[in-house]
Chains A and B, each alone.
Chain A
Amino acid sequence: MLSSTPWKRWLLLAIAVVLVAIYLFPLYWMYVTALKTNTETFANPPTLWPHHAELKVTRVWNDMGMGSFIQNSLVIACGTVTLVVLFGTGCAYGLARVRSVWMDVALFLVLMLQVLPASLMVTPIFVAFSQLGLLSWPRTGTILATAANKLPLYIVLVRAAFTQVPRELEEAALVDGNSRIGAFLSISVPLARNGILVSAILIFLQALGEYVYSRSLITDRAYQPATVGLQFFVGPNASDWTGIMTFAAIYVTPILIIFVLLQRRIVSGLTSGALK
């Protein structure tokens, strides 16, 4: 609700701006530190704007072998999204369409899974994977674990999208001569595509930021994603903060761009279940 008096609106706006500034400060600090020289990083009082800005993108990229890290991150994220979309879409559809006590139980269990944090699950998963011999394919193992971890969120979001598709449309398709699976693919999926797309992008972004499973399951540096690679900067004695921030900036900027471009769709996709 917007207040009627103008000064109240300005006050609210000011509060909003301050809150946003606090929220975005770490992001700003990341970019600013990435541009500073190493000495300026430790200057006291700290400078809010770099005096001698220098771009270290190519140096950090080459020194750290970021190409391999980014590639691994993308492999893991893409693999996770593929698995999640493949398994989650059908599951979400089933949960949206069939109404019975058992479906409610299933939905409850799915929601419960979402509560379990990755760090809690990683030890049993590590033991299970090691016994199955999955640790010889560490990226596959990480994809499996991450997909299992992200699946509940995807299912819940996409289920909301499917409940918005009127059942009569599928029934019309059935009467028109389509099979159940045909009606699902040619009617329900296209109509829920916004929700599916947005949820898939969210899962992709989350999988890019995944750390716990990659850190635990992947020991070979050649297979590690960028989130794990970042910590090689932090040694016991010296820390190359400006290098870390450059690394982070390289990693985060594309994600930010995707998010900003799709921001409107993501927000509308997330609330589509709530409002008619």
Chain B
Amino acid sequence: MTLQIELAGIQKYYGGYHALRGIDIAIPKGQFVALVGPSGCGKSTLLRTIAGLETITSGAIRIKGEDITRQPPRLRDIAMVFQSYALYPHMTVEKNLTYSLRLKGVPKAEARRKAEEIAEITGLGQLLDRYPRELSGGQRQRVAMGRAIIRNPKAFLFDEPLSNLDAALRVHMRAEVRKLHNSLGATSVYVTHDQIEAMTMADHVVVMRAGVIEQQGAPLDLYDRPVNRFVAGFIGSPAMNFIDGIVTEAGDRVRLTLPGDPIVSFAGHRPAGEAVTVGLRPEHLNVVSETQTGNTLRLPVSLVEQTGSMTYVVTETEPMLTIAANMSRAILTAKSIDVQIDPGHVYLFDRTSEAALQSL
């Protein structure tokens, strides 16, 4: 497997501010990688260092094995789609699409033919002679994508390209970008703050916080086996519930700091008396009838949110918990709710280091 993009030990300082701290990512050809994290985590900075728009303090960037760390953007053969699209306002769609070709000295007729071809792929057929200001948001987005595709570059970089679209179009474009990636056999790095975008589109998700990679791996690996509380809370929607707890004498149960000090069992063993944070995903809290016993909790209801397919119940506890339930009319009026927990779906985190705890 050849590596298309390789980031090794990247450090970036802005004066005294340490923006990127030892980033290592290896991206094989054809992979779709999502960089995800809260704003200010360094994901956009990292993308810009790959493009060559930011220099790095130390470390190496290799593309197809060639070290391009000190090369200017124009020599890297990488295409980038910007959040604001960055279409050249004084050029028509065709001129926007063929800008890179004209710089390379491609003959006019051939550039025009390629532009038409790209317009066909991206659905911009009739718009080649329009100016960007005459296009809708979705069309501008397509021009920005087309401008990247036309070059047939070694890699595509996306900087939150869908964040300016309305919700319905965003979902549609999500699938379209991924389809395009597959049909081109491209290598893509995609920055987003939306974990659903990252989960649905990417083969490989990199979760960042404060300039550090917290965890990287396949989307479901991150969902099933988060390495710390941050990743657990960031991946998954609605977010995981966190409750403080103490491991009981037996070592396979934990006492939760909820009203009535309920005890739930988890898979595996931990030292007795250990202070932990218990993570429970809303979708792993199964609503059951009152009569059922074994690893159940009774929780007072404060709010019920309906989305149609799912109903989210928010409990009146401290901390407040979210429960994802299947649609049921009974829940709407319920004062309290009984949930059952599968011991295999109980996550434990160290309360101070926040690292995920392996069962002993």
Nearest opposing residue in chain B for A171, CB measure: B53
User: Which of B86, B100, B103 is the one whose CB lies under 8 Å from A169?
Assistant: B86
Query: Quick one: CB contact mask for A168-179 with B, threshold 8 Å, 1 for yes?
Result: 110111111111
Q: Are A176's CB and B103's CB within 8 A? A: yes
Q: Are A172's CB and B82's CB within 8 A? A: yes
Q: How far is the CB of B10 from chain A (nearest CB, A)?
A: 19
- A191 touches B (CB below 8 Å): yes
Contacts of A67 in B (CB 8 A): none
A168 to B51, CA, bound (A): 13
- B99 touches A (CB below 8 Å): yes
- B186 touches A (CB below 8 Å): no
Q: How far is the CB of B178 from chain A (nearest CB, A)?
A: 22
Q: Are B74's CB and A166's CB within 8 A? A: no
- A94 touches B (CB below 8 Å): no
Q: Are A190's CB and B51's CB within 8 A? A: no
User: Which of A166, A175, A190, A191 is the one whose CB lies under 8 Å from B53?
Assistant: A175
- B78 touches A (CB below 8 Å): yes
B-contacting residues, A161-190, CB 8 Å: 166, 168-169, 171-180, 182, 187, 190
Q: Are A172's CB and B74's CB within 8 A? A: no
Size of the chain B interface, CB-CB below 8 angstroms: 21
Query: Quick one: CB contact mask for B82-106 with A, threshold 8 Å, 1 for yes?
Result: 1010101110000000011001100
User: Which of B53, B84, B88, B90 is the one whose CB lies under 8 Å from A174?
Assistant: B53
Q: Are A175's CB and B80's CB within 8 A? A: yes
Decide: A182 near B103, CB < 8 A? Known: A174-B74, A177-B74, A191-B90.
yes
User: Which of A169, A179, A191 is the one whose CB lies under 8 Å from B74?
Assistant: A179
Chain B positions within 8 Å of A, measured between CB atoms, are 51-53, 72-74, 78-80, 82, 84, 86, 88-90, 99-100, 103-104, 147, 151
Contacts of A169 in B (CB 8 A): 86, 88-89
Q: Are A173's CB and B99's CB within 8 A? A: yes
Chain A facing B: main interface SS = helix
Nearest opposing residue in chain B for A191, CB measure: B90
- Using a Cβ cutoff of 8 Å, how many contacts connect chains A and B? 56
Known A-B contacts: A174-B74, A175-B74, A176-B147. Give 5 more (CB < 8 A).
A174-B52, A174-B72, A175-B79, A176-B100, A177-B104
Q: How far is the CB of A183 from chain B (nearest CB, A)?
A: 9
Chain A positions within 8 Å of B, measured between CB atoms, are 166, 168-169, 171-180, 182, 187, 190-191
A48 to B231, CA, bound (A): 85
A172 to B88, CA, bound (A): 9
Contacts of A178 in B (CB 8 A): 74, 103
Decide: A176 near B89, CB < 8 A? Known: A168-B84, A171-B82.
no
Contacts of A171 in B (CB 8 A): 51, 53, 73, 80, 82, 86
Contacts of B74 in A (CB 8 A): 174-179
Contacts of A182 in B (CB 8 A): 103
Q: How far is the CB of B231 from chain A (nearest CB, A)?
A: 30
Q: Are A177's CB and B53's CB within 8 A? A: no
Nearest opposing residue in chain B for A165, CB measure: B89
A173 to B100, CA, bound (A): 8
Contacts of B103 in A (CB 8 A): 176-178, 182
Contacts of A175 in B (CB 8 A): 51-53, 73-74, 78-80
Q: How far is the CB of A268 from chain B (nearest CB, A)?
A: 16
Q: How far is the CB of A176 from chain B (nearest CB, A)?
A: 4
Q: How far is the CB of A267 from chain B (nearest CB, A)?
A: 22
Q: Are A168's CB and B82's CB within 8 A? A: yes
Contacts of B51 in A (CB 8 A): 171, 175
Contacts of A174 in B (CB 8 A): 52-53, 72-74
Decide: A168 near B86, CB < 8 A? Known: A173-B99, A176-B100.
yes
Q: Are A179's CB and B72's CB within 8 A? A: yes
Q: How far is the CB of B49 from chain A (nearest CB, A)?
A: 13
